[in-house]
A = this chain, B = another copy of it.
Amino acid sequence: MKKQHTFKANGRIWIDGPDGAFLGYGRVELLEKIHELGSIRKAALAMKMSYRQAWEFVQQMNQVLKKPLVVANTGGKGGGQAVLTEEGLKAVEQFREFNGAFQEFLASYSKELTFKPSSK
């Protein structure tokens, strides 16, 4: 019989920049969706985030690095569009690596937990 872990080590990570939050799960997912859909609005809709918040995230992220992570154009065919830059792609990749290592860390630590649950 395999032991089941009713207790689990859990957590969240993010990357802070010079002025606070830079990259986290929400922002990275947003970047991925923008890359996939070519639009901030569609990306926000796809992940059930308000456009308001999505737009603010993009603004904030773009101010942190020398080069923007997202370039958005207003007007034109379709009303406008947004594309992920080289820097944006790198940022996504680095965060994913970081998170991969973190998930392994959590999994290994979960095995060391020795708490005994009340009854269920």
Contacts and interface: CB of A to CB of B under 8 A. Distances in A.
Q: For this complex, into which size category does the number of interface residues on chain A fall?
A: 20 to 34
Specify the main secondary structure of chain A where it touches its partner. mixed
A87 to B, nearest CB: 9
Interface of A: 6-18, 22, 63-66, 91, 94, 98, 101-102, 105-106, 109, 113-120
A117 B65 contact: yes
A71 B119 CA distance: 19
A11 B12 contact: yes
A115 B47 CA distance: 26
Contacts of A22: 7, 115
Contact of A8 (B8, B10, B16, B94): B16
Contacts of A18: 6-7, 117, 120
